[in-house]
Amino acid sequence: MTCQKPVPSPPLACFKAYDIRGRLGIELNEAIACRIGRAFAQVLGARRVVLGRDCRASSEALAAAVADGLMAAGVEVVDLGLCGTEEMYFATTHFATCGGIQVTASHNPMDWNGMKMVKAGSAPLDPATDMAAIRALAESGAFADRRDGGLVSPAHGARAAYVERVLSMVDASVLRPMTVLVNAGNGAAGPTFDALAAELDRRGAPLRFVRMHHDPDGTFPNGIPNPLLPENQPATARAVVEAGADFGVAWDGDFDRCFLFDQAGCFVPGEYIVGLLAQVFLAKEPGATIIHDPRVVWNTEAIVAAAGGKAQVSRTGHAFLKQALRQTGAVYGGEMSAHHYFRDFVACDSGMIPWLLVAELMGRTGHPLADLVAAMRVEFPSSGEINFAVTDVAAALALVEDVLAPKAVAVDRLDGLSLTFDEWRLNLRSSNTEPLLRLNVETRGDASALVARVAEITGLLGAWRAS
């Protein structure tokens, strides 16, 4: 296909804070994808761009449309085909291209798709400048004249180089014999995982894998892969126990997030994984900086302080965490939503590196995953992220602030509303990608108080709950 003629289009609702996400046929289609590709190239002055896609039924056609837009701007498209978002991030730097685009809707519903984009060096697009300029150009259609030279070329050796980089992050010499249950959710993770597993086997790593829902299938016969949803966790939990696995791993659709289950099938909340990975890196690099998001902080701050590191908070969202990682030189950054960022992995997030590092930590300490997080669960219980559909986000936030802020010892608005009290803390913020208000509550060792505080805030939000 070719891009639409350079005439204005209606406002493009698929542009979110730092990604493209939209309902197919309503907010996103092939013509819009083509315009976005062409605008991306023109705004960045790109000459070579990496392009990948997930396994959704619509992704191949949308990726072809993006490629058409890029080629209309004279771009050489380095085609990764089916891959994970992190493979696109890595390849953008590996091939020294001007940017990268991954066609993916991650964990969104079946009738959605989208794109994640970076510029040269795998750097995030600035929401206020880069994304705004790409949106404005895609909407206006005021493209420069078509350029000659656009073509699609295969990304030779991309996955092998990616596997080498991922495994370079892990000390395989301390891995002990373990069985790991892996649930790809019929997303894009399967083929990439197989490449990693084959290389681990070649190097003699004593790991045995039990695969679940492994083959990519854009119809998602076992449901949309979003392991963060409580209703999606029991299937993996049961499989871990049935396999007698030492721990379990589940990925979302484009596998830039991974979720872990202990040997009893218990889901391990993301903030405790952030704590574990902070321990891993501070043991390797004493005094290093660790970036974390503001939703749940006390466990991470305590672990980093005890290990002699420096904890620094960043706004939630991959564009902001990546920017903070680059600005501070932090070795690692983590979000409770299971995004984990690594300085030595092109300062981007990966869903494959975290489980490998946890396996390394288990091998080094000899402790099972449940024991590694047991004290964290007791000392800093947290609610997990609770989503509220409200009719007026600003009014709902204002009500909670009016009632609770006068009693708080600290008020912070870096990302939504954070209120800190002597023995408990909350963060309430609007989603960057969905029309939701998100609540997180944590306490200092008091699980009963946690329940009471969640009930209190839920009651306050009741007046603004959408029916």
pLDDT tens sequence across 147-173: 988 999 999 999 999 999 999 999 999
The proportion of the chain whose per-residue pLDDT surpasses 90, expressed as a percent, equals 92
Three-state secondary structure readout of the chain: CCCCCCCCCCCCCCECCCCEEEEECCCECHHHHHHHHHHHHHHHCCCEEEEEECCCCCHHHHHHHHHHHHHHECCEEEEEEECCHHHHHHHHHHCCCCEEEEECCCCCCCCEEEEEEEEHHHEECCHHHHHHHHHHHHHHCCCCCCECCCEEEECCCHHHHHHHHHHHCCCHHHCCCEEEEEECCCCCHHHHHHHHHHHHHHCCCCEEEEEECCCCCCCCCCCCCCCCCHHHHHHHHHHHHHHCCCEEEEECCCCCEEEEECCCCCEECHHHHHHHHHHHHHHHCCCCEEEECCCCCHHHHHHHHHCCCEEEECCCCHHHHHHHHHHHCCCEEECCCCEEEECCCCCEECCCHHHHHHHHHHHHHCCCHHHHHHHHHHHCCECCCEEECECCHHHHHHHHHHHHHHHCCEEECCCCEEEECCCEEEEEEECCCCCCEEEEEEECCCHHHHHHHHHHHHHHHHHHECC
Report pLDDT for 298. 98
* Residue 279: band (very low, low, confident or very high) from pLDDT cuts 50, 70, 90: very high
Judge if 258 and 297 occupy the same domain: no
In a domain, 457, yes or no: yes
Task: Please say if the pLDDT value at position 4 is more than 90.
Answer: no
Report pLDDT for 110. 92
In a domain, 208, yes or no: yes
In a domain, 260, yes or no: yes
Give the global pTM: 0.95
Judge if 275 and 303 occupy the same domain: yes
Judge if 234 and 287 occupy the same domain: no
Judge if 64 and 146 occupy the same domain: yes
Mean per-residue pLDDT, 207-224:
97
Judge if 87 and 152 occupy the same domain: yes
Judge if 147 and 193 occupy the same domain: no
Among the listed ranges 118-122, 144-148, 324-328, 419-423, which one has the minimum average pLDDT value?
144-148
pLDDT tens sequence across 365-386: 999 999 999 999 999 999 999 9
In a domain, 102, yes or no: yes
Q: What's the chain's average pLDDT?
A: 95
Q: Which of 320, 349, 378 is the last residue of a domain?
A: 349
User: Containing domain of residue 257, as a range?
Assistant: 177-267
CATH number, domain of 249, equals: 3.40.120.10
Nearest of 206, 256, 235 to residue 105 by alpha carbon: 256
In a domain, 411, yes or no: yes
Mean per-residue pLDDT, 296-313:
98
pLDDT tens sequence across 24-72: 999 999 999 999 999 999 999 999 999 999 999 999 999 999 999 999 9
Report pLDDT for 393. 87
Judge if 119 and 183 occupy the same domain: no
Q: Which of 103, 129, 157 is the last residue of a domain?
A: 157
Sequence-separated (6 or more) residues with CB below 8 Å from residue 448: none
In a domain, 423, yes or no: yes
Q: Which of 349, 367, 400 is the last residue of a domain?
A: 349
In a domain, 165, yes or no: no
Sequence-separated (6 or more) residues with CB below 8 Å from residue 302: 379, 380
Residues with catalytic roles: 106
Number of domains observed in the structure of the chain: 4
Judge if 256 and 277 occupy the same domain: no
C-alpha span between 229 and 213 (Å, rounded): 17
CATH number, domain of 401, equals: 3.30.310.50
Judge if 96 and 121 occupy the same domain: yes
In a domain, 12, yes or no: no
Judge if 284 and 184 occupy the same domain: no
- Tokens coding 157: 């050796």
Task: Please say if the pLDDT value at position 2 is more than 60.
Answer: no
* Residue 10: band (very low, low, confident or very high) from pLDDT cuts 50, 70, 90: confident
| Residue of higher predicted confidence among 148 and 431 | 148
* Residue 8: band (very low, low, confident or very high) from pLDDT cuts 50, 70, 90: confident
Judge if 25 and 119 occupy the same domain: yes
Cβ neighbours, 10 Å, residue 172? 18
Judge if 62 and 134 occupy the same domain: yes
